[in-house]
Amino acid sequence: MTLYNTEAKHCGHHWKIYLVWLINLFLHFGVFAQSRSVTVDPATEKLGENALITYTFTLEPGEDLDYLVWFKCDVDGVRQGDSIITNITGNPQPNGRYSLSDNGSLIISNVQVEDAGYYLCRVTTTANFTEGFSNLTVYHLETPILAPKEKYVNRNKTTTFTCPLPNGDPTPITTTWIKDGGVLDVSDIEKYPQSDTTLEISRVNEMDEGDYQCRTENAAYNGNEGKLSDKGTLSLFSLTSPSTSIASSFTIVTSSTSVSSIAATVPLKCSGSDAGLLVGMTFLGFFFGILLSLSIFCVLRKMRNSKAQVIEASSRDYELPTVSEATPRDGKHSSAYTAYKGEPMADKKTYEDLQWNYDNPVMPAVYVNVK
């Protein structure tokens, strides 16, 4: 005999009815509306332009669009922060650089690098709501930086300019070297061993002098839209006239002429830090030369004045007697012995030049027989 549990049978039947009712309820109120998604199209735009992020959503029969809201989100579609802009009021107003098109697409004016990322659109209808998200890529390329700004090189030496790759999107980023406004041909690898982010120039000569730049490019910025660096100048270090000596370049100047004006007459032209050293040494030599000349002049003048003072003092101490007053010291001859200073050429002095020697002479005397 088979027994039926009628209570259990009716209980199972009730559960099936309840489950169908819940499914219909969820569908009616949009709990499972996420199965219908909004399609947000990926967008790309150049830095500084106006970016447009569009979406696609199809209304079901009998549905009406209530409003939509835009958010910024992460790569998984999780909303970050408050909404950017919405048309919930029916007449959306721009929010800073954000605005909506007539159909609700998001417009970002003067797009910046920090605007790149993921954006989520949430659409709410009379029946349910649904969401979708995608990313915005901002194409950009920064200006490269060339170093150094000035370069002085000896003949036949090797020199380099560097131009690191700047930040940019998309990649790859390429570098082109420019000399005096034209593209530099770097195909000669012996002359230019490196020509990527570093330009190496070997055996430098006069033909290598000029202004150098680097231009970086990517898929969004190429040709004339590429980013050009500042100029770096290459100069060959040498004297303009090596065979000309410094001494032959001076001109005669008055004593009031300054040292700087004297140095200006030297037609020497050098480049680099060695040129500054040469000019400094030249000025220093001028200064010490003038100082030494003045010192010697002062010493000689002082010696001359001292000698003149001695002669003048000696002349005051001795007065020449008249010829009639002159008396021979030994009485033997009409000649006179007189005291005379010991100095050169004494034997050629005349009688009037001689001075009598008194008992206390100032200086040692030389006796000259005057006839």
Write the pLDDT tens digit of every residue in 104-128: 999 999 999 999 999 999 999 888 8
CA angle 180, 203, 176 (to 5 degrees): 40
Query: Residue 356: which pLDDT band, with cuts at 50, 70 and 90?
Result: very low
pLDDT score recorded for residue 137: 97
Is the pLDDT at 371 greater than 50? The verdict is no
> pLDDT by residue (tens digit) across 288-300?
888 888 888 888 8
Structure tokens at 360: 């206390």
Return the pLDDT at 22: 59
Output the pLDDT for position 18: 60
Poorest-confidence range of 11-15, 305-309, 355-359?
Answer: 355-359
The 10s digit of each residue's pLDDT in 59-75 is 888 888 888 999 999 99
Element (H, E) at 291: helix 272-317
CA–CA dist 256, 246 (Å, integer): 21
Strand stretches in 223-352, DSSP E: 227-228, 232-236, 336-341
pLDDT of residue 287 exceeding 90: no
* pLDDT tens-place string over residues 225-260: 999 999 999 999 865 544 444 444 434 444 444 444
Rounded to the nearest integer, the mean pLDDT of the chain is: 76
Any idea which of 43-47, 139-143, 286-290 has the lowest mean pLDDT? 286-290
- For residue 305, pLDDT over 80 is answered with no
Q: List b or e across 56-94, with b for residues whose CB sees 16 or more CB atoms inside 10 angstroms.
A: ebeeeeeeeeebbbbbbbeeeeeeeeeebbbbeeeebee
Q: What is the rounded CA–CA span in Å between residue 278 and residue 269?
A: 10
- What percent of the chain clears pLDDT 70, i.e. is strictly above it? 61
Write down the pLDDT at residue 187: 95
Tens of pLDDT, residues 209-227: 999 999 999 999 999 999 9
Q: Cα separation of 148 and 331, whole Å?
A: 101
pLDDT of 344 strictly over 50: yes
Could you tell me the pTM of the whole model?
A: 0.55
